[in-house]
Amino acid sequence: MAKKPDPKVIEVHRHTLSIGPDYQVYQLRNVARVQVLDWKPDLGYGPLSAVLWKMILAVAAVVAAAVWTNSAASESTASGSRERWVLFLGLAGAVLALRFLYQAIRIAMRRTRWALVLETTGVPIAIISGRRREPVVELHRFIVNSIENPPAHVLSWNIGHLNMVGGDQINQSGGGNKWGKVLNG
């Protein structure tokens, strides 16, 4: 049985490209596109402008509750339960305003991630990502140079600082030719 490659190593042979420990093997002649993309991860909060508008509305609710409480306190006819409701709504608005402020800070401070996307002429795709652009671009050059000039011997590239986000893996099990495609990421 062949030796399983290290978890964070890409190997280029004369005709194949092996990625990681799962034996994700791609034929070099079938690689259709290798590109470097940047993206900012979606945190699920929506765009920054929407979060800021929500925060402004929550702050406006707090201010309105404070004004209403002060005006109700100056009038002697205001009931105590009404003041408690206004106070409760003001506190809820303050909590929401803090939550939306936290979300706005997280959206503004998120870092750009870089991804190397390897597409083949068929369906399979592999995505390798990292926080810095330079290692991803170096890996891109390594793969493109290997496609243009296939090496005579095995070349290895350590991707310990990058993450394997996705890729296709085909599993076969049993004697009944049960094939299954596992989509990673």
Predicted pLDDT at 135: 85
Q: What is the C-alpha separation between 127 and 159, in angstroms, rounded?
A: 12
Predicted pLDDT at 158: 77
Residue 76's alpha-carbon distances to 70, 83, 143, 182, in angstroms, are: 12, 12, 79, 70
Predicted pLDDT at 79: 61
Predicted pLDDT at 16: 82
| Spans of the chain, pLDDT less than 50 | 1, 5, 169-172, 174, 177-185
Predicted pLDDT at 55: 92
Q: Which residue has the tokens 């068929």?
A: 122
For residues 136 and 162, the answer to whether their CB atoms sit within 8 Å is yes
Using alpha carbons, select from 128, 185, 184, 133 the residue that is nearest to residue 160: 128
Q: What is the C-alpha separation between 72 and 58, in angstroms, rounded?
A: 21
Count CB-CB contacts under 10 A for residue 107.
19
Predicted pLDDT at 165: 59
Q: What one-letter code names the amino acid at 17?
A: L
Predicted pLDDT at 128: 79
The CATH number corresponding to 9-40+113-184 among 2.30.29, 1.25.40, 1.10.3470, 3.40.50 equals 2.30.29
pTM of the predicted structure, to 2 decimals:
0.58
